């Protein structure tokens, strides 16, 4: 079964936040993940850029509400 963007993001999150049991869904927000602050958000976005070979604009990622919006953005940039 192909890996979904959410599945790939879950792996990124687990590695970045050093928590193999971290569960990531479309509804996951910063409030659900300990340590997900503005600076960690930057590290997360740069890691995702490298992983998916895309480039974000700051305006796209500054106000993402949840992982679902992030996954949708990644999918749109990969088309």
Contacting residues toward another protein, per CB under 8 A: 30-31, 36-43, 45-46, 56, 58-59, 61-63
Which CB sits closer to another protein, 7 or 50? Answer: 50
Which residue lies nearer to another protein by CB, 8 or 40? 40
Rounded least distance, CB 56 to another protein, Å: 7
CB-CB neighbours of 6 under 10 Å: 16
In whole angstroms, the minimum distance from the beta carbon of 20 to another protein comes to 19
Which residue pairs from 54-60 have beta carbons closer than 8 angstroms and sit at least 24 positions apart in sequence? 54/78
Under DSSP, the state recorded for 1 is -
- The nearer residue to another protein, 12 or 61, going by C-beta atoms, is 61
Closest alpha carbon to 45 in 32, 26, 59, 31 = 59
């Amino acid at each position: 079964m192909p890996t979904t963007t959410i599945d790939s993001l879950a792996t990124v999150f687990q590695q970045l936040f050093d928590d193999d049991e971290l569960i990531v869904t479309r509804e996951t927000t910063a409030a659900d993940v300990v340590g997900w602050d503005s600076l960690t958000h930057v590290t997360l976005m740069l890691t995702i850029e490298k992983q998916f070979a895309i480039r974000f604009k700051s305006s796209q990622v500054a106000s993402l509400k949840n992982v679902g919006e992030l996954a949708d953005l990644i999918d749109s940039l990969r088309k």
